[in-house]
Structure 1
Amino acid sequence: MEKAILVVEDERKIARLLQIELESEGYRVLLAHDGIEGWAAFQEYQADLILLDVMLPGISGIELLRRIRSVNQDVPVLLVTAKNSVEDKVSGLDLGANDYLTKPFEIEELFARIRTSLRLSARAAQTDHAEEWLIAADLKLNLNTREVERADKPLQLTQREFDLLAYLVRNKKHVLNRDQILSEVWGYDYDGNTNVVDVYIRYVRKKVDEGFPTELIHTVRGIGYVLKDTL
Structure 2
Amino acid sequence: MLRLEGVSHSYDGRAVLRDVTLDLAEHRIGVIGANGSGKSTLARTLNGLVVPDVGTVSLGEWNTRRHARRVRRRVGFVFSDASHQIIMPTVAEDVEIGLRSLRLGAEETARRVDRILERFGLDSHRDHPGHLLSGGQKQLLALASVLVTEPEVLVCDEPTTLLDLRNTRMVHRTLERLDQQVVLFTHDLDLLTGFDRVLVIDDGRVVFDGAPGEAVPFYVDRMERADREEADR
In the superposition, the TM-score normalised over structure 2's length comes to: 0.28
Higher relative contact order (CA 8 A, sep 6+): 2
